[in-house]
Amino acid sequence: MANKGAGGFTAQIKDKLIQQALARKLQQVERQADNPSPITSAAIPEQFYRFHLQPGYQQLRIMNDGAARMGIGNPFFKLHEGIAGATTSIGGKIFLNYASYNYLGLSGHAAVADAAKQAIDTYGTSVSASRPVSGERPVHHELEYALAEAYGVDDAIVFVSGHATNVTTIGYLLGPRDLVVHDEFIHNSALQGIVLSGARRLSFPHNDSRALDNLLAEQRRHFERVLIVVEGIYSMDGDSPDLPRFIEIKQRHHAWLMVDEAHSFGVMGKNGLGIREHCGVQGRDVDIWMGTLSKALAGCGGYIAGETALVEHLKFLAPGFLYSVGMSPPVAAASLAALRCLLREPERVRTLQARGQQFLQLARAAGIDTGTSSGLAVIPAIVGSSLKAARLSAALYRHGINAQPILYPAVPEKSARLRFFMSCEHTEAHIRHTVQVVAQELKQL
């Protein structure tokens, strides 16, 4: 017989009632935001000038208070006390770590750290100006040349933020007479760039090249410039597009193709050169290569690689580059050293790929829903509700495993999940133990 708590309700019924109450509260807040009361000359309502009454903050409080009532602690903003790789220290305790992007173990690598230290000694901690004014340093050129060479294209440009790379590039290159067509699961940074550009935005079903082809056949003639945006590895699902097919479509419809390689460069391909190497395409087949320095390349910031005209255009006119301080020398030097280490030690990439495949195969064998993940770097465990995802994360934490929940609205409520980032420094024993614990705890939910 099911255990009953206070009031005679089972734990499952109590959870359902709490979720329904939270949903009603959130709907009420959203309705108030969509239909604000008219402003009169007599008084300005407090919600228009008080931060604690903003709809977004009220939603946050409702979710946090609801989680607290169900005994679920905040899984976010845990304080990591050292280098976060395959393991990490939190509160003086060592955890198996699946919540960091340190795919190749290069953040903390001796050669990478030494390069950053030498850059500080040579250039200081900041270039203290935008690069066009007086912030240009040799390390910027070296990093950009190395990235362009890795992609087999003319040139590259680095930005101080990965998110801002997409925002400023898309926001600057496109305008109101243009169209941006993107995968429905594209990153927020691309969406924000589209809003900034003023271009028309249309999405197509995830990785569905036929739907994209049909959409462009219908819409292309109505716009001047058209940009297609996809990702190398999708950060929530761990899967990839059929890149040669997307290249063929963009060529036929005379569009630009932009590939966001935030999670695929350093991960895909025999030598870690990304989806280009994985699919056997030429660098020039894609118009705009975008990536971040904060994952496999152990730094912070983003880059665009492509033909000379694209890069020069951005260097002289893109606001997010022109009006921003140049990349910090130790960050640029660290990413350059990481890239050189990646090229010199491709076995790191192969170990990462092997660990990802091991995790994926064991998880599927244990009945864990891994969605469409290819097992290269990002593997979800889809559990079906935000409540279950938060509880599973907390349960793993008690077992010494750090894996973060991805909750609504970051993903649809029915697709709430834990997300496991692989590292080449995870061992086979780490993977076996983790999957065993996940499967065990899923049965208890």
The packing angle between helices 162-173 and 188-197, to 10°, is 30
Catalytic residue among 100, 107, 189, 235: 235
Rounded to the nearest 10°, the torsion over CA 271, 274, 279, 280 is: -60
- Cα angle for residues 353, 419, 302 (degrees, 5° grid): 70
Catalytic residue among 140, 250, 263, 278: 263
Q: Where on the phi/psi map is residue 384: left (φ > 0), alpha (ψ -120 to 50), or beta?
A: left
Residue 254 appears among annotated catalytic residues? no
The packing angle between helices 428-444 and 386-398, to 10°, is 130
Residue 250 appears among annotated catalytic residues? no
* Cα–Cα nearest to 431, from 372, 374, 351: 351
What's CA 314's distance to the chain center, in Å? Answer: 23
Residue 386 appears among annotated catalytic residues? no
Whole-angstrom distance, CA of residue 158 vs CA of residue 94: 35
Residue ranges of alpha helices (H) inside 70-208 are 110-123, 138-151, 162-173, 188-197
245's tokens: 């097919």
Whole-angstrom distance, CA of residue 441 vs CA of residue 445: 7
Hey, is 208 helix, strand or coil? coil
**Hey, CA dihedral for 49, 52, 56, 62, is it positive or negative?**
negative
Q: Are 232 and 259 in contact (CB under 8 A)?
A: yes
Catalytic residue among 140, 182, 295, 430: 295
Whole-angstrom distance, CA of residue 390 vs CA of residue 79: 18
237: Cβ–Cβ under 8 A, 6 or more apart, which residues? 185, 206, 371, 372, 373, 378, 380
The CA-atom distances, in angstroms, between 5 and each of 14, 21, 437 are 9, 18, 27
Rounded to the nearest 10°, the torsion over CA 153, 307, 145, 249 is: -40
Hey, is 56 helix, strand or coil? helix
Strand-pair partners of 231: 260
Residues classed as catalytic:
235, 263, 295
